[in-house]
Structure 1
Amino acid sequence: MRRMWSWVADVGVGWVRACAVAAVGLLIPAVWAAAVALGVAWGASNPWSWLAPLVLVGVGTFALARPVCRAVRFLVARWSGTVIPSGYRRPGPVTRLSTGYWWNGFGYERSSRDAVLDQRMRLRLGDRANARDLRFTAVLALTAAPVAAVPPAALVTMAVCGVRPGPSAVLLGAGALAVAVGSGPYAWRLLRPVAVRFLRPSAAMALAERVDELTAQRADTTVAQAAEIRRIERDLHDGAQARLVALGLSLATAEKLMDKDPERARALMREARAGATTSLSELRELVHGIHPPVLGERGLVDAVRAFALDSPLEVRVTADGEFRLDPPIESALYFGIAELVTNAVKHAHASRARISLAQDATGVVVEVEDDGRGGAKAREGGGLAGLGRRLAVFDGGVEISSPEGGPTLVRMMVACASL
């Protein structure tokens, strides 16, 4: 009994999937058929009877090719778990320059909106994946889609035969029912091998995608460096530089008052000494923000432990032994950890955090977990998205698990070897 119900379920699920494959695969041929029908309806005497169908076929095929391919990838991933990379070119960052113009990777525009629209149009029209998508829609319409259309076509035939009397109609209806039931669990399965064979990106497309990714990373790095330089300049101008100017004025005044008012001169010198101490502290903090000395002297693990001691949270640090990495990687991971802990205090209102550092044969994995309220997401332009872009420069990545109510677990991975 259980086997029978399982078989019935397989038939029902297979029939639904076959209908989905047939609808997706025959969508563009349906546009072609509609174009031909339009040309026939207008008649041979109408000058638009041949031009309008051609325009409809061209525009409709190009506009529907990418949605059809995306739908096929979704169905294959959902039904079989096979993820087929799209290979589409990704848009790079749109950056505003000092001249006021916006650079989108192709040209300069006067506004951010115009730069984004121009970038999207150029990427859509110049993408190498367009030819692959158009080829795949033709292959799909000739292979998986007709096979998937067998079960629904058989059921339609059975329904038509059911309203017509006669032994031949009954016999044909019974045969159609047998075909629909027998082919239902299997008719849709041709979609996966066809999609894997013809829909995956080519080597040239993968190379172009990698070039776009590196271009975007270079632009992100340039923007981040410019922002960091501005921050350092601002901190120096508003902090240490102002104090050093005041220190020079105090010493000059004390020099003039040395003979006339020694007590006032000594008071000014004491103030100057206090200002020099404060300026030295600010310079040390500034240097620590650029590159902590303990990070260069003792490595990532000890630097993270020192950071945990100064954190307002109760932070527990665990490390899989002591290891040293390339300085740029250590710096990126250190400031990534610092940013995550700061977010846990500022946004998640956490009270405790755990930092784990481990290394294996493939690279380094750093986990930061807090007991905050959760809900953290990598939003475009946000800190977590920027962290992912910074680690992508080293072929790394970020994984975020942060349900509402917490806890939040962020995993940073970088492929590298220890020194």
Structure 2
Amino acid sequence: MKRIASPALWQPPLRGLVLAAQKVPQAALFALMVFSTASLGLGAGVLLLPVVVAAVRKLANRSRRLAHDWSGVTIAQPYRELPEPGPGLAGRWGHCLRLLQDPATLRDTLWTIVDPVIGTVLALLPAALLVYGLEGLVLPFLWDTLVSAGYHDHYAGLIDVSGERGVRTWLMPLFGLGFIWLGLRTGPLLLTAHACFTRKLLGPRIGDELTARVGHLTRTRGAVVDSQAAELRRIERDLHDGAQARLVAMGMNLDAVGQLLDTNPEAARALLLETRESSSKALGELRDLVRGIHPPVLSDRGLGDAVRALALDSPLPVDVAVDLPGRPDAPVESAAYFAVSELLTNAAKHARADRVWIDIRHEREALRISVGDDGCGGATVAAGTGLGGIESRIAAFDGVLSVNSPQGGPTMTTMEIPCALFSPKTSSF
């Protein structure tokens, strides 16, 4: 459960009213779910069921989000990833069957009918206590009017509101204040109880969590394998087109030098100079290739100084802030370094930015890296600017990537990679 700041005393009752108002569409969706499932055989359900399931999931996700935002209770989404519906009626029918076979669909349906009964009590109780307390405050002043109108009731089960005024009449405001205090003080607890009840109904079961975990690991493993294969192809291509070609040319030049040394010393000297220049270029290309595989500065000085070196090489002004009391594991460092490198490249090539800022820190057992720029915005993971590759790279470490890039900018990309720091920081800065 996430710790959140304590809300103002008046907020939980109002939030309870918001949650209670949501119970009405929940009950309506339950009726639609039953109808669409029952009418699958008639054909109408094939069109209606996916729409109803999507509406139920949208409402359930809203409840999950409110439970997290208002009470700090995190509820994971247990839905299976389903393929797109196939063509024709048979494809739609198969899609409906897959939706119904998802255990989360059954739990969502149960939530739509159980939560309006039990959840409404938990949500409305704080506001009900406040209203009942206010009634105790105003009843003594409306006593005569209510009695003459034939009002007959007992307040708090003790005070008969039907006869003559008495001492107990003026105890009602004290009871009212007590109910108001109770509503205000128990509001956060009842709101948290509602969130926990929601998690019990909507949260994934242990088996679902294991299944989702295995699926996630399978997808990320495949992404890592593909990424490594692409990296090996890049290295092979760079060696073949760069250093290898130069080394072959150097060998041919040296053979020519051996043939010309006695007959044409000037031509041999020119070929030697050309060979020396080629050797320098080949050495530079090999160094660049090594830095592309794993930069020496990353191994020697850690992520902070390696990112600072990237910032110095960037064509844009880059502000770097690093707060790392230690170093993460080498694979995490490498993934984070190349992710930052890709983001800097994106900012220089696509964002039309004037400035970039990078913040690296370790918070809540996770490496948190924020990279922002003042460019034109519009960056998305699906835009083909390398963000998808970054997401796949850090997903192998259970990392998450979030991108906030409205049209017109600015762009803020945040990565969080769970990890521990294991060695003191060494830096010359």
TM-score range, shorter chain: 0.5 to 0.7
How far 1:390 sits from its partner (Å)? 1.2
How far 1:255 sits from its partner (Å)? 0.1
SS in 1 for 2:381: coil
d(CA) in 2 for partners of 1:337, 1:291? 14
Change (3 A) 1:232 1:220: same
Query: Are 1:133 and 2:105 counterparts?
Result: yes
Corresponding residue for residue 79 of structure 2 = 88
d(CA) in 2 for partners of 1:352, 1:79? 36
- Residue deviations 1:61-89 (CA, integer Å, cap 9, x gap): 97677435414414535776577433123
Query: Are 1:291 and 2:294 counterparts?
Result: yes
Corresponding residue for residue 375 of structure 1 = 378
Query: Are 1:320 and 2:323 counterparts?
Result: yes
**Residues 377, 406 of structure 2: 8 Å contact kept:** yes
**Residues 89, 208 of structure 1: 8 Å contact kept:** no
How far 1:364 sits from its partner (Å)? 1.7
Change (3 A) 1:126 1:74: closer
d(CA) in 2 for partners of 1:287, 1:329? 18
d(CA) in 2 for partners of 1:194, 1:57? 34
Matched to 2:200, the amino acid is: R
Alignment partner of 2:359 out of 356, 361, 366: 356
Alignment partner of 2:34 out of 29, 37, 40: 29
d(CA) in 2 for partners of 1:306, 1:417? 24
d(CA) in 1 for partners of 2:104, 2:243? 59
Corresponding residue for residue 246 of structure 1 = 249
How far 1:417 sits from its partner (Å)? 1.6
Matched to 1:304, the amino acid is: V
TM-score, normalised to structure 1, is 0.67
How far 1:27 sits from its partner (Å)? 0.7
How far 1:90 sits from its partner (Å)? 3.2
How far 1:247 sits from its partner (Å)? 0.5
- Residue deviations 1:118-155 (CA, integer Å, cap 9, x gap): xx99998678962452365356457738999xxxxxxx
d(CA) in 2 for partners of 1:113, 1:246? 57
TM-score, normalised to structure 2, is 0.66
Change (3 A) 1:142 1:348: closer
**Residues 66, 130 of structure 1: 8 Å contact kept:** no
Corresponding residue for residue 157 of structure 1 = none
SS in 2 for 1:244: helix
How far 1:341 sits from its partner (Å)? 0.9
SS in 1 for 2:336: helix
Change (3 A) 1:227 1:321: closer
d(CA) in 2 for partners of 1:56, 1:288? 61
**Identical positions, percent:** 40
The 5 A counterparts of 1:38-53 are: none
Counting matched residue pairs gives: 330
Query: Are 1:219 and 2:222 counterparts?
Result: yes
Corresponding residue for residue 409 of structure 2 = 406
Structure 1 unaligned spans of 5+: 1-8, 36-52, 93-111, 115-119, 149-188
Change (3 A) 1:270 1:205: same
The 5 A counterparts of 1:198-213 are: 198-213=201-216
d(CA) in 1 for partners of 2:43, 2:119? 26
Alignment partner of 2:397 out of 394, 409, 414: 394
d(CA) in 2 for partners of 1:28, 1:145? 18
Alignment partner of 1:70 out of 57, 72, 79: 57
d(CA) in 1 for partners of 2:235, 2:383? 25
d(CA) in 2 for partners of 1:31, 1:58? 4
**Residues 36, 49 of structure 2: 8 Å contact kept:** no
**Residues 365, 420 of structure 2: 8 Å contact kept:** yes
How far 1:196 sits from its partner (Å)? 3.7
Structure 2 unaligned spans of 5+: 1-13, 87-91, 121-190, 423-429
Change (3 A) 1:309 1:273: same
How far 1:266 sits from its partner (Å)? 1.1
Identify the range of structure 1 (74-83 vs 312-321) with the bigger mean alpha-carbon deviation.
Answer: 74-83
SS in 2 for 1:228: helix
**Residues 400, 410 of structure 1: 8 Å contact kept:** yes
- Residue deviations 1:190-240 (CA, integer Å, cap 9, x gap): 997875433321110011000000000000001101110111111111111
Matched to 1:30, the amino acid is: F
d(CA) in 2 for partners of 1:381, 1:301? 27
How far 1:375 sits from its partner (Å)? 1.6
SS in 1 for 2:102: helix
- Residue deviations 1:31-76 (CA, integer Å, cap 9, x gap): 477x6xxxxxxxxxxxxxxxxx867799799767743541441453
d(CA) in 1 for partners of 2:35, 2:100? 25
**Residues 358, 370 of structure 2: 8 Å contact kept:** yes
d(CA) in 1 for partners of 2:418, 2:20? 45
Matched to 2:116, the amino acid is: A
CA RMSD of aligned residues (A): 4.0
**Residues 57, 108 of structure 2: 8 Å contact kept:** no
Change (3 A) 1:329 1:123: farther
d(CA) in 2 for partners of 1:397, 1:266? 58
Change (3 A) 1:343 1:263: same
d(CA) in 1 for partners of 2:327, 2:74? 36
